[in-house]
C-alpha cells in the first residue's frame, strides 16, 4: 500500500454473553467427550446468547458502546460502521444499520460484510481504505456472530466448535506510519460445497421441508475444510511476511482466526512463530466466526506495545481467507 495515511486501530473492545456452554454439558447433549473435543479442536467452553429476542446486533451494540466509552468517542463522530457477520438479525436491514441506530451513530452510514470467518479481515481492510484515502477520520469495524442461531445441537460435528460473541475496533488515521501495513485477501466460491447453510436464502427459501431437513443449520465437511484451512491460512501469512521482509522473530504476535487449535499451530509453525507469540482464546469462546480476531486483540491488548508487529490471519466459509500485517498503534506502557 503506497498511501501515506495509514489506518491505525486506536481502540478495541468486545462483548461475550454470560452463559457458558462447557464440554461436559455437551457430553450430555451429543455423543462426545471432553477429551475428544479438547484434543481435536482445543475448545473447552463457549458462550451462548440466551436473551430472548436478542440477535447479533445485541452483542455488536454492546461491543461498540464499550469501545466508544473506552476511546472517549462520541457516537456522532463516527463516519462509517461496518459489521462483519453471517448471522445477521434479519436478511435485511443490515445488522450494521441496527447497531449504528442503537449506539446513536447518527452521522454514520453502515453496512454488513458477509465473508464468514474471514469477515473481520475483509471489513477491516475495507474500512482502512476509507481512512488511508483521507475520506474518513473515524470508522468502527464490528465482527459479531450468534452462531448458536444456526447450529444444530444434535450434530456433534458442528455443535462442539462454535460460540457467540462480538468484537469491535476503532480505526483512525495514523500520523506515524503505524496501523495496517499490508494485506492479502482471497476467495474461492467453489468452497460452497464444503461449508454452507443450505436453506433460508433465495435459492432455497424457508419451507416446512427445509426445516424438517435441518437445512437452516451450518453444514460442514470438516476434514475438507480443515485441509484447505491449514494450507491456505499458512500460505497467505507466509506471503505477507515475505513481501514485508518479516522473519518469525520480527513477528510479535500471530492473531489467528480461532477455528481449530491444530490449524493455528500449523500456521504458526509455517511462519516460524513460537507458541508464546500466538494469540489464543479458542479454549474459552470456541469459534465465534467474525468475532474471533477482535476478541483476541481485546484479550491480549495489555501485552501489546506501540509498534508491535501483528499478523492477523483467517480462513473460512466461501472459501474466504486472508492475512493482514498490522503495526499496533496503542502504547499500553506495560
Ligand atoms: O471456521 C470456519 C472454518 N472451519 C474450520 O476451519 C474447521 C475445520 N475442521 C475441523 O476443525 C475438524 O475437521 C473438526 C473439528 C470439525 C473435526 O475434526 P476431525 O479430526 O477432522 O474429525 P473427523 O470429522 O475426521 O471425524 C473423526 C472421527 C469420526 O469417527 P470415525 O468415522 O472415525 O469413526 C467422527 O464421527 O471423529 C468422530 N467425531 C466425533 N467424535 C466425538 C466427529 N465429531 C465428534 C465429536 N465427538 N464431537
In contact, 180 and 173? CB cutoff 8 Å: no
Q: How far apart are CA 83 and CA 142, in angstroms?
A: 5
For residue 89, the CA-to-ligand 1 centroid distance in Å is 29
301 pLDDT more than 90: yes
Say if ligand 1 is within 6 A of residue 174 CB.
Answer: no
In the predicted structure, residue 321 carries a pLDDT above the cut 80:
yes
pLDDT for 176: 84
Site to probe by mutation for ligand 1, drawn from 31, 223, 319 as the one with most ligand atoms within 8 Å of Cβ, is: 223
| pLDDT above 90: residue 331 | no
If pLDDT is split at 50, 70 and 90, which confidence band does 216 have? very high
Convert the pLDDT of each residue in 55-94 to its tens digit.
Answer: 999 999 999 999 999 999 999 999 999 999 999 999 999 9
Domains in the chain, please, with CATH?
Answer: 6-177 (3.40.47.10), 181-327 (3.40.47.10)
Q: What CA–CA distance (Å, rounded) separates 268 from 86?
A: 27
Q: What is the mean pLDDT of the chain?
A: 96
Summarised one tens digit per residue, pLDDT across range 235-283 is 999 999 999 999 999 999 999 999 999 999 999 999 999 999 999 999 9
Q: What is the mean pLDDT of residues 190-214?
A: 98
- Full DSSP string of 253-280: EEEE--S-HHHHHHHHHHHT--GGGB--
Say what the pLDDT of residue 326 is. 98
Model confidence, pTM: 0.96
Give residue 162 CA to ligand 1 midpoint distance, Å.
13
DSSP code of 287?
B
Enter the DSSP assignment of 116: G
Q: Which residues contact 254 (CB under 8 A, 6 or more apart)?
A: 237, 264, 267, 268, 271, 273, 277, 278, 279, 310, 311, 313
| Nearest atom (ligand 1) to Cα of 157 | 44
E-state strands within the chain: 6-15, 19-22, 45-48, 80-84, 109-113, 139-146, 164-174, 179-187, 195-196, 219-220, 253-256, 309-316, 320-327
pLDDT in tens, 21-54: 999 999 999 999 999 999 999 999 999 999 999 9
Give dist(CA 278, CA 185) in Å, integer. Answer: 21
CA–CA distance, 329 with 238 (Å, rounded to integer): 23
pLDDT at 3: 54
Amino acid at each position: 500500500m503506497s498511501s501515506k495515511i495509514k489506518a491505525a486501530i486506536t481502540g478495541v473492545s468486545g462483548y461475550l454473553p454470560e452463559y457458558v456452554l462447557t464440554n461436559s454439558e455437551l457430553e450430555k447433549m451429543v455423543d462426545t467427550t471432553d477429551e475428544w473435543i479438547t484434543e481435536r479442536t482445543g475448545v473447552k467452553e463457549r458462550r451462548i446468547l440466551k436473551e430472548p429476542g436478542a440477535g447479533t446486533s445485541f452483542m455488536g451494540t454492546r461491543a461498540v458502546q464499550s469501545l466508544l466509552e473506552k476511546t472517549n468517542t462520541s457516537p456522532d463522530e463516527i463516519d462509517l460502521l461496518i459489521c462483519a457477520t453471517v448471522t445477521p438479525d434479519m436478511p435485511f436491514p443490515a445488522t450494521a444499520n441496527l447497531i449504528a441506530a442503537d449506539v446513536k451513530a447518527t452521522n454514520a452510514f453502515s453496512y454488513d460484510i458477509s465473508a464468514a470467518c474471514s469477515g473481520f479481515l475483509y471489513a477491516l481492510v475495507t474500512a482502512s481504505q476509507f481512512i488511508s484515502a483521507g475520506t474518513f477520520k473515524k470508522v468502527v469495524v464490528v465482527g459479531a456472530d450468534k452462531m448458536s442461531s444456526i447450529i444444530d445441537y444434535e450434530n456433534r460435528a458442528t455443535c462442539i466448535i462454535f460460540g457467540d460473541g462480538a468484537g469491535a475496533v476503532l480505526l483512525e488515521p495514523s500520523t506515524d506510519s503505524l496501523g495496517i501495513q499490508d494485506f492479502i485477501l482471497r476467495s474461492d466460491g467453489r468452497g460452497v460445497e464444503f461449508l454452507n447453510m443450505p436453506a433460508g436464502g433465495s435459492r432455497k427459501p424457508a419451507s416446512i421441508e427445509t426445516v424438517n431437513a435441518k437445512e437452516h443449520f451450518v453444514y460442514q465437511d470438516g476434514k475438507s475444510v480443515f485441509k484447505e484451512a491449514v494450507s491456505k491460512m499458512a500460505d497467505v501469512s507466509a506471503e505477507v511476511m515475505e513481501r514485508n521482509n518479516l522473519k518469525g522473530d520480527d513477528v510479535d504476535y500471530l492473531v489467528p482466526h480461532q477455528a481449530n487449535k491444530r490449524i493455528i499451530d500449523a500456521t504458526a509453525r509455517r511462519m516460524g512463530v513460537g507458541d508464546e507469540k500466538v494469540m489464543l482464546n479458542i479454549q474459552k469462546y470456541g469459534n465465534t466466526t467474525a468475532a474471533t480476531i477482535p476478541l483476541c486483540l481485546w484479550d491480549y491488548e495489555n501485552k501489546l506495545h506501540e509498534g508491535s508487529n501483528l499478523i492477523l490471519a483467517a480462513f473460512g466459509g466461501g472459501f474466504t481467507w486472508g492475512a493482514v500485517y498490522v503495526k499496533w498503534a496503542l502504547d499500553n506502557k506495560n
